[in-house]
Chain A
Amino acid sequence: MARIRVKVQPPDEDCDKYHVHLPSYMMVAGTEVYKDDKLVSVEVIVPDDECRDGKPDKDKIRQKYKGQPRWDRDNVLSDI
């Protein structure tokens, strides 16, 4: 498991809640950073088989979720 700080996405047309744009993650309680009452970043735990050198890896994620439109795309990590 890799523990990293990532951006939190606000609710939008795809997702009606604050979320992290990763297929599988667990937020670490107490690491939330708020700015103007909006949750902007948090530390998350990401599975080892989606990481390289302790960071989410685009190729590994695309391979693991091959054929799933939300994750098998070139800019999959652009919102992290």
Chain B
Amino acid sequence: MVFVARRRDRPSELQVSPRAEWYDRNPNMTYQYYHGTGVAPHSVVARWSYTVPTGKKAFIESLLIMIQRTAVATSAGRFRGDIAATYPAFMKVYNYGNVVGSGESRNQGYTGCLPSGFAVSAITEDLSTGGTVDYWLDMVFCEFDA
């Protein structure tokens, strides 16, 4: 495939690149997920992690987080799910509810492109005493030659 673009300074001329588009450079659609049902309170846990291999980049196609209380806590605290790069979170949801069914969900598409060596983790935490929560933390992405 040949990339063709019009020059800004000379719109009548075409600029041609021999390099294929990113989605044609050995693309590999893949995913990371965690689906936990009836999970008891816990401190911060990285449920999955993904590091972009050397010589590759990764384009995030979709992020999904859903958290939902499934059993009432004795003493309710914050429960949350994050998909984050160390500290800055791509997506973060949290809830303090103590009614079965209380929770949050969020979905986002085309989040961005990750460079080689970049790491992303999915985190859960529940500061309650007793009770349980269901968690879904999914990332679908396309890895391709950098």
Contacts and interface: CB of A to CB of B under 8 A. Distances in A.
At the interface, is chain B mostly helix, strand, loop or mixed? strand
Given A19-B49, A23-B49, A29 B36 contact: yes
A20 B81 CA distance: 18
B119 A18 contact: no
A71 B51 CA distance: 10
B33 interface: yes
B46 A24 contact: no
B109 interface: no
B45 interface: yes
A48 to B, nearest CB: 11
Size category, A interface: 20 to 34
B27 interface: no
A65 B117 CA distance: 7
A71 B118 CA distance: 12
A68 B51 contact: yes
B45 A39 contact: yes
Interface string A1-45: 000000010010001111110111111011000000001000000
Contact of B46 (A19, A65, A68, A71): A19
User: Which residue among A16, A24, A71 has the maximum number of chain B CB atoms within 10 Å of its CB?
Assistant: A24
A66 B51 contact: no
B54 A65 contact: yes
Interface of A: 8, 11, 15-20, 22-27, 29-30, 39, 64-68, 70-71
Going nearest first, the 4 A-B pairs with the smallest beta carbon separation are A23-B51, A29-B36, A17-B44, A19-B46
Given A23-B50, A30-B37, 18 more contacts: A11-B44, A16-B44, A17-B45, A17-B46, A17-B121, A19-B45, A23-B49, A23-B119, A24-B50, A26-B32, A26-B33, A26-B48, A29-B34, A29-B35, A29-B39, A64-B54, A68-B51, A68-B117
